């Protein structure tokens, strides 16, 4: 069950057992454990040792009673004392034997948690338990108190550190009442609730609340959160409601332009098939509210965000959102130029959370003219248009943003200046739409520069589409290779024509 764990020590045992068909099994069993340790191999291949100590276990069986006593540990690792008694019955199943017992334990070796919860990289603290057992062997009942003090937990993957952890769980016959608190960064979190078990399934409610919790502390994201969440547990169904306020966030994600999604037909070889009946279903309705210090620097957008969105998930196959996020102040990089955002909104109207409506107006003042871009539509399919004051053509505005300067210099801007901005746009556009060939072509006679996108539709047929950067002119070209020497070329645009080309290679 724990392949990454190695158990070491010395075990000596003595047993004397007698019985048969006419009488129940009777006898004694004594085991002595010496210098016991648990070795846990970390991801770094370092082996971490946890001392368990030494002790004895004694079991005695008589015709009417089975009793067991255990005493383990030492002054360094902690101690555990346990006693158990089962009342034997002449007839009946062993599961129906009445049970009584008690367990008293204390240890500072809380890092044992990391052996069985691998997502936790480090765990320390002091654990004490005073538990009484009752009921039957098949359905034991626990009562008592379990406490954790001075606890610490680290999850290195998201750089989450919990400090000053305290928790107290009051065990009932089939229930538990708990409360606890911890510090994360400069914030504090607390939780309390009641859970009970019916047919081995949990039922109950608990509340989680915190302020200024550092939930992510990575180079790409530093995020503080103040949650106020309620959890309603009903068997395999968990419903979460409440609000999460983000007072501070600084998000600078890595460039993932070239990243690809996992294939939808991915199959993990050797994975255990999931039992649908044992799966926990989580339904959540959570309002995410942004504070005054939430900043993002990604995909050309440098801005401070505000607003709130209510997110619903689990009710169907799509995670949905209602609300609006706004750009309080910021700048947007378009065509290699930083534009001031006058209005920026992501509008969620109950559709997929990943595809909200978008409404962005960004502009920049040039000598003699103010020009900018409007972005409308959805995040997945935005529509971009240009505007200016005084009014100019769309081509003039694009050239102005690309080349910079004034209106006069734009009208006579060099192809090199325009090409520099267009090359940046081409690199971004080609990688996103899957077009391998993106280039610039210049006609010296017409003093015209075009952005050309092309690709092979077959090993012999090549298609390219050119967009003029200075005029409202588009050109479609096709090239078909007949053999090693003959090629047919056609062009449709300002002029129409076809060529038959014969090539000789030396």
Cα gap 358→298, rounded to integer Å: 16
Residue 299 tokens read as 């995909």
Asked whether the predicted pLDDT for residue 217 surpasses 90, the reply is no
Confidence of residue 128 (pLDDT cuts 50, 70, 90): very high
Per-residue pLDDT at 330: 86
- The mean pLDDT value for 427-433 works out to 52
Distance CA 342, CA 338 (A): 13
Say which residues have a Cβ less than 8 Å from residue 149's Cβ, sequence separation at least 6.
125, 126, 128, 166
| Biggest alpha carbon–alpha carbon distance for the chain | 113
| 3-state secondary structure at position 482 | coil
The per-residue pLDDT for 403 is 58
Question: 339 - beta bridge partners?
Answer: 332
Residues 287-333 have pLDDT tens digits of 999 999 999 887 677 889 999 999 999 888 889 999 999 988 888 77
For the cut 90, the answer to whether the pLDDT of residue 443 exceeds it is: no
Asked whether the predicted pLDDT for residue 224 surpasses 80, the reply is yes
Mean pLDDT of the 442-453 span: 66
What is residue 452's predicted lDDT score, i.e. its pLDDT? 74
pLDDT at 417 over 50: no
What average pLDDT does this structure show over 35-53? 74
Q: What would the two tokens of residue 434 be? A: 């899957």
Question: 368: how many CB neighbours lie within 10 A of its CB?
Answer: 11
Please tell me whether residue 394 adopts helix, strand or coil conformation.
Answer: helix
Q: Is 276 helix (H, G, I), strand (E, B) or coil?
A: helix
In percent, the amount of the chain with pLDDT more than 90 equals: 27
| Peptide bond between residue 390 and the one before it cis (omega within 30 degrees of 0) | yes
- Which is more confidently placed, 266 or 446? 266
CA 214 from centroid of its chain's CA atoms? 15
Look at the chain and count its residues: 506
List of residues 6+ apart from 274 with CB closer than 8 A:
none
Q: What is the pLDDT of residue 297?
A: 84
The whole-angstrom separation of Cα 140 and Cα 172 is 11
For 51-105, what is the HEC assignment?
EEEEEEEEEEECCCEEEEEEEEEECCCEEEEEEEEEECCCCCCHHHCEEEEEEEE
Angstrom distance (rounded) from CA 237 to CA 250: 34
Is residue 416 very low, low, confident or very high in pLDDT (cuts 50, 70, 90)? very low
Give the range among 9-13, 258-262, 356-360, 414-418 with minimum mean pLDDT. 414-418
The residues pairing with 56 across neighbouring beta strands, listed in sequence order, are 32, 71
Whether the predicted pLDDT of 152 surpasses 70: yes
Does the pLDDT at position 177 exceed 90? Answer: yes
* Arithmetic mean of pLDDT over the chain: 81
Average pLDDT value for residue range 134-150? 88
The residue among 89, 49, 57, 86 whose CA lies nearest residue 73 is: 57
Mean pLDDT, rounded, for 56-73: 91
Is 108 a residue whose pLDDT tops 70?
Answer: yes
431 vs 57: which has the higher pLDDT: 57
From the CB of residue 256, how many other CB atoms can be counted at a distance below 10 Å? Answer: 9
Q: Residue 472, CB half-sphere, CA atoms under 13 Å: how many?
A: 6
Listed in order, strand segments (DSSP E) in 235-336 are 237-251, 281-298, 301-313, 320-334
Report the pLDDT value the prediction gives residue 415, as an integer from 0 to 100. Answer: 47
pLDDT at 232: 96
CA 290 to chain centre: 19
* Range scoring the smallest mean pLDDT among 19-28, 65-74, 124-133, 428-437: 428-437
Count other Cβ atoms within 10 Å, centred on residue 492. Answer: 13
Q: What are residue 357's phi and psi, to 5 degrees? A: -70, 150
Distant-in-sequence contacts of 447-451, Cβ < 8 A, 24+ apart: 447/415, 448/473, 449/415, 449/418, 449/419, 449/422, 450/475, 451/422, 451/425, 451/426
């Amino acid at each position: 069950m724990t392949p990454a764990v190695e158990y070491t020590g010395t075990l000596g045992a003595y047993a004397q057992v007698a019985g048969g068909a006419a009488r129940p099994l009777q006898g004694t069993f004594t085991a002595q454990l010496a210098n016991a340790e648990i070795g846990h191999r970390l991801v770094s291949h370092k082996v971490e040792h946890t001392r368990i100590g030494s002790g004895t276990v004694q079991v005695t069986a008589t015709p009417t009673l089975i009793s067991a006593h255990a005493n383990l540990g030492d002054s360094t690792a902690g101690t555990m004392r346990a006693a158990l008694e089962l009342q034997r019955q002449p007839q009946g199943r062993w599961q129906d034997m009445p049970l009584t017992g008690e367990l008293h334990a204390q240890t500072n070796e809380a890092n044992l948690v990391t052996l069985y919860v691998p997502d936790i990289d480090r765990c320390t603290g002091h654990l004490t338990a005073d538990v009484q057992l009752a009921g039957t062997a098949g359905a034991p009942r626990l009562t008592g108190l379990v406490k954790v003090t001075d606890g610490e937990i680290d999850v290195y993957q998201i750089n989450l550190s919990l400090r000053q952890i305290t928790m107290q769980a009051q065990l009932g016959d089939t229930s538990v009442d708990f409360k606890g608190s911890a510090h994360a960064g400069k914030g504090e979190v607390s939780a309390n609730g009641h859970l009970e078990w019916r047919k081995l399934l949990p039922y109950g409610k608990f509340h989680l609340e915190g302020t200024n919790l550092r939930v992510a502390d990575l180079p790409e994201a530093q995020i503080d959160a103040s949650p106020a969440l309620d959890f309603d547990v009903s068997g395999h169904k968990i419903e979460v409601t409440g609000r999460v306020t983000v007072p501070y966030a600084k998000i600078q994600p890595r460039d993932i332009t070239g990243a690809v999604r996992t294939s939808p037909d991915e199959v993990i070889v050797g994975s255990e098939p999931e039992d649908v009946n044992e799966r926990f279903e989580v339904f959540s309705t959570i309002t995410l509210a942004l504070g005054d210090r939430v900043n993002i620097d990604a995909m050309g957008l440098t801005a401070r965000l505000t607003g709130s969105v209510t997110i619903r998930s689990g009710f169907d196959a799509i995670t949905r959102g209602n609300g609006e996020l706004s750009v309080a102040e910021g700048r947007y990089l378009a065509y290699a130029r930083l534009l001031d955002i006058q209005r920026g909104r992501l509008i969620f109207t109950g559709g997929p959370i990943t595809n909200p409506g978008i409404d962005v107006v960004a502009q920049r003042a040039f000598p003699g003219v103010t020009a900018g871009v409007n972005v409308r539509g959805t995040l997945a399919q935005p529509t971009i248009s240009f505007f200016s004051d005084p009014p100019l053509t769309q081509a003039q505005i694009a050239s102005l943003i690309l080349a910079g300067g004034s209106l006069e210099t734009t009208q006579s801007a060099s192809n090199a200046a325009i090409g520099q901005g267009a090359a940046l746009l081409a690199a971004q556009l080609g990688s996103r739409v899957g077009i391998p060939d993106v280039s610039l072509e210049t006609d010296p006679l017409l003093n015209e520069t075009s952005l050309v996108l092309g690709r092979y539709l077959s090993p012999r047929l090549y298609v390219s589409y050119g967009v003029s950067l200075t005029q409202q002119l588009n050109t479609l070209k096709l090239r078909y290779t007949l053999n090693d020497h003959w090629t047919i070329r056609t062009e449709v645009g300002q002029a129409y024509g076809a060529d038959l080309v014969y090539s000789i290679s030396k």
